[in-house]
């Protein structure tokens, strides 16, 4: 019973999606059409990208980069800029959740060592916002982007038009927030550099080990941009990982893949119920931006993207909506829960304080970006 409760707590979205899929199966009996529900290309790409990013993470490449930059930050402001930029730009490639897993613990460690514990909460919140908003800028930055770009006919230009104005303003807002805050010197960052020769030797070895992963990432990007079919690339990734580091298979978030499958079943069945399908189409179409933002607050932006995409063809507006919808509540983007768990683990008595600061800053960013979306919509209209 305890294990079940823990699983339910940790994988709430999967449990909800599974329940919806099962209930819908009582209405639409399982048949051969079920096999046409999933978008296999998206699932294959998600699997490949997750295992490749896990490989990069196991080599410590991004942590090494963070360490290099941190040792050259001379003040709280410098440290904040470095960490926020790292989260913002690295999330475009390694996804928002992996970015936070990599850099939030590092941030807590460095600020503790520098004697600036009181700055941890705000910086972790800003890093979370940076990772969620930076990840919107590329098709592989987060699962909802990958899914929507995969199922749609959006060109690269249309994709950028839907996300870059908001990613650009986000970065400007983050920089303003950092520079408005009080600056103080770091007391003593005790993260020492390795001897130069040893560090260079280690970096060279790591880069050599990363080359197969880099080549696999390039192949995946060619699939994302519809240059290569996904089937041979999937087989290639499976075989290469089997040879170089089979333990990486344990790093894949299979529960996320199952969540996608369950939502595909649920949406596929809903489309086959005329009354439900007609109602949802009328409720979503023309309101994709608002629907994406509001639905994300309740079920998070990845399931929101899968759900709403079944009843609208305006993928550009939906893409903007679910990405902005990652701001707001703690569950609006499941990546935000990673920061929350890391922070609360170290400071369990500051759970309420984190939620308060997190909600205030997220709502402020959401209001500004939603206003930008409204203005862009008025101009386009």
Report which DSSP code applies to 285.
T
Instruction: For 59-112, write each residue's pLDDT tens digit.
Output: 887 677 767 767 666 778 888 888 899 999 999 988 898 889 888 888 888 888
Query: What's the CA angle centered on 131, arms 128 and 133, to 5 degrees?
Result: 105
Q: How many CB atoms sit inside 10 A of residue 213's CB?
A: 24
> Which one is predicted more confidently, 229 or 263?
229
Buried/exposed code over 283-301 (b: 16+ C-beta within 10 A; e: otherwise): ebeebbbbbbbebbbebbb
**Lookup result for tokens 């649920």:** 266
Determine the Cα–Cα distance for residues 28 and 22; give it in Å rounded to an integer: 10
Would you state the pLDDT for residue 186? 66
> Sign of dihedral through CA atoms 327, 328, 331, 336?
positive
Q: What's the half-sphere exposure (Cβ side, CA atoms, 13 Å) at 25?
A: 16
Determine the Cα–Cα distance for residues 300 and 302; give it in Å rounded to an integer: 6
Counting residues of the chain whose pLDDT is more than 70, the rounded percentage is: 92
Query: Is-contact 19 11, C-beta < 8 A?
Result: no
- The pTM score is 0.83
- How would residue 201 be classed by pLDDT, with cut points 50, 70 and 90? low
Would you state the pLDDT for residue 39? 87
Structure tokens at 334: 């499941």
Would you state the pLDDT for residue 231? 95
Q: Which residues pair with 75 in a beta bridge?
A: 185
Query: Is-contact 121 181, C-beta < 8 A?
Result: no
Question: At 85, which helix (H) or strand (E)?
Answer: helix 76-94
Residue 84 vs residues 70, 115, 172, 296, 369: alpha-carbon distances, Å: 12, 19, 11, 24, 18
Mean pLDDT of 41-52: 89
Query: Is-contact 127 100, C-beta < 8 A?
Result: yes
Mean pLDDT of 247-265: 89
Report which DSSP code applies to 31.
-
Structure tokens at 133: 């908003």
On the question of pLDDT at 165 being above 70, the answer is yes
Number of residues written out for the chain:
381
- How would residue 197 be classed by pLDDT, with cut points 50, 70 and 90? low
Instruction: For 286-329, write each residue's pLDDT tens digit.
Output: 889 999 999 999 888 888 898 898 888 899 999 999 999 999 99
Determine the Cα–Cα distance for residues 272 and 8; give it in Å rounded to an integer: 29
> Sign of dihedral through CA atoms 315, 125, 92, 235?
negative
SS3 381: coil
**Lookup result for tokens 């939030």:** 104
Residue 162 vs residues 132, 148, 151, 333, 378: alpha-carbon distances, Å: 16, 12, 16, 19, 15
């Amino acid at each position: 019973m305890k294990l079940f409760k823990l699983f339910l707590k940790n994988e709430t979205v999967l449990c909800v999606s599974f329940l919806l899929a099962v209930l819908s199966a009582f209405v639409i009996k399982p048949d051969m059409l079920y096999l046409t529900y999933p978008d296999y290309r998206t699932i294959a790409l998600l699997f490949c990208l997750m295992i490749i990013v896990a490989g990069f993470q196991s080599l410590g490449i991004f942590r090494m980069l963070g360490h290099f930059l941190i040792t050259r930050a001379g003040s709280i402001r410098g440290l904040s800029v470095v960490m926020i930029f790292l989260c913002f730009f690295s999330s475009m490639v390694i996804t928002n959740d992996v970015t936070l897993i990599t850099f939030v613990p590092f941030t807590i460690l460095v600020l503790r060592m520098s004697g600036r514990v009181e700055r941890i909460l705000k910086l972790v919140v800003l890093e979370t916002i940076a990772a969620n908003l930076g990840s919107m800028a590329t098709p592989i930055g987060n699962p909802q982007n990958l899914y929507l770009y995969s199922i749609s006919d959006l060109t690269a230009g249309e994709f950028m038009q839907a996300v870059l104005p908001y990613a650009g303003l986000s970065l400007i807002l983050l920089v303003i927030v950092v520079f408005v805050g009080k600056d103080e010197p770091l007391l003593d960052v005790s993260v020492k550099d390795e001897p130069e020769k040893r560090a260079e030797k280690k970096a060279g070895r790591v880069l050599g080990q990363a080359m197969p992963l880099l080549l696999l990432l390039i192949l995946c990007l060619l699939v994302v941009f519809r240059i290569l079919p996904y089937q041979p690339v999937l087989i290639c990734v499976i075989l290469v990982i089997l040879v170089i580091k089979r333990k990486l298979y344990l790093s894949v978030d299979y529960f996320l893949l199952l969540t996608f499958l369950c939502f595909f079943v649920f949406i596929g069945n809903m489309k086959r119920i005329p009354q439900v399908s007609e109602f949802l189409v009328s409720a979503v179409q023309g309101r994709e931006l608002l629907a994406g933002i509001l639905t994300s607050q309740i079920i998070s932006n990845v399931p929101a993207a899968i759900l709403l995409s079944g009843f609208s063809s305006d993928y550009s507006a939906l893409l903007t909506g679910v990405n902005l919808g990652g701001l707001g509540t703690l569950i609006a983007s499941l990546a935000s829960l990673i920061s929350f768990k890391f922070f609360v683990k170290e400071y369990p008595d500051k759970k309420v304080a984190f939620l308060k600061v997190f909600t205030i800053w997220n709502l402020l960013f959401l209001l500004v970006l939603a206003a930008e979306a409204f203005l862009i919509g008025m101009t386009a209209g």
